[in-house]
Amino acid sequence: MLGIAILAIDGPSASGKGSVAQRVAEVLEFAYLDSGALYRLTALAAQRAGVGWNDEHSVAQIAQSLDVRFENERVLLAGQDVSAVIRSESIGVGASQVAAFAAVRQALLARQRAFATKQGLVADGRDMGSVVFPDAQLKIFLTATAEVRAERRYQQLIARGESADLAAITRDLQSRDERDAARTEAPLRQWHDALLLETSGLNLDQVVECVLSSWKTRMQSL
């Protein structure tokens, strides 16, 4: 990755890291990696193949051979647009489960690293700065309280015309946080060289500005 500009944004589910990373990538004219989409795609592909999310070996084989393409705003699995499907709450639960497996994470590692090109890259996920891009020039850990994140997810679902239960969403996020933090393979945590950005009281524009300012400061120091 020598010479490639990489900004890694990690954080818990519904912390807003995807929206922030996309906006930052647009401003910097960098490529964008939504690593969570790969785990959601793996969970969806496993479901469609009749493979249980607790079957590490079989799920890892599916991850290894994922037929996926990213075309602008669309995500294609085996040629089918699954952009909306992979954002469902049920597939999110599956993604969190399969992401706990070392074999699945290893199967997707090279695919994620391939997104880094001379164009530059903004990558978001759970282990972008710790495992996938440990030499990233800037690492940010983006977070917010579970209550704020649940409210954001609730509003997203309502905006899409889906039914939503705020209390259930809050419980689910807390369960995902515990599962992601407790896993032995690439656990979710703020690493020592990552900048903490707590966004509970900030809107999207403010968070994007904070990230861009941090990137500018970091680049000036190199």
Residue 10 has a pLDDT of 95
Residue 3 has a pLDDT of 79
Is 202 inside a domain boundary? Answer: yes
Count of domains for the chain: 1
Is 130 labelled as part of a ligand binding site?
no
Is 62 inside a domain boundary? Answer: yes
Residue 191 has a pLDDT of 87
Residue 2 has a pLDDT of 57
Residue 179 has a pLDDT of 83
Is 1 inside a domain boundary? Answer: no
Is 129 labelled as part of a ligand binding site?
no
Residue 1 has a pLDDT of 57
Is 219 inside a domain boundary? Answer: no
CATH of the domain at 192: 3.40.50.300
What is the SS3 string spanning the chain? CCCCCEEEEECCCCCCHHHHHHHHHHHHCCEEEEHHHHHHHHHHHHHHCCCCCCCHHHHHHHHHCCCEEEECCEEEECCEECCCHHHCHHHHHHHHHHCCCHHHHHHHHHHHHCCCCCCCEEEEECCHHHHHCCCCCEEEEEECCHHHHHHHHHHHHHHCCCCCCHHHHHHHHHHHHHHHHHCCCCCCCCCCCCEEEECCCCCHHHHHHHHHHHHHHHHHHC
Is 83 labelled as part of a ligand binding site?
no
Is 18 labelled as part of a ligand binding site?
yes
Is 187 labelled as part of a ligand binding site?
no
Is 214 labelled as part of a ligand binding site?
no
Is 13 labelled as part of a ligand binding site?
yes
In this predicted model, what pLDDT tens digit does every residue of 67-88 receive, in sequence order? 988 877 789 999 999 999 998 8
Print the domain residue range for 47.
6-213
Is 17 labelled as part of a ligand binding site?
yes
Residue 182 has a pLDDT of 83
In this predicted model, what pLDDT tens digit does every residue of 11-35 receive, in sequence order? 998 899 999 999 999 999 999 999 9
pLDDT < 50: residue spans in the chain: none
Is 222 inside a domain boundary? Answer: no
Is 95 labelled as part of a ligand binding site?
no
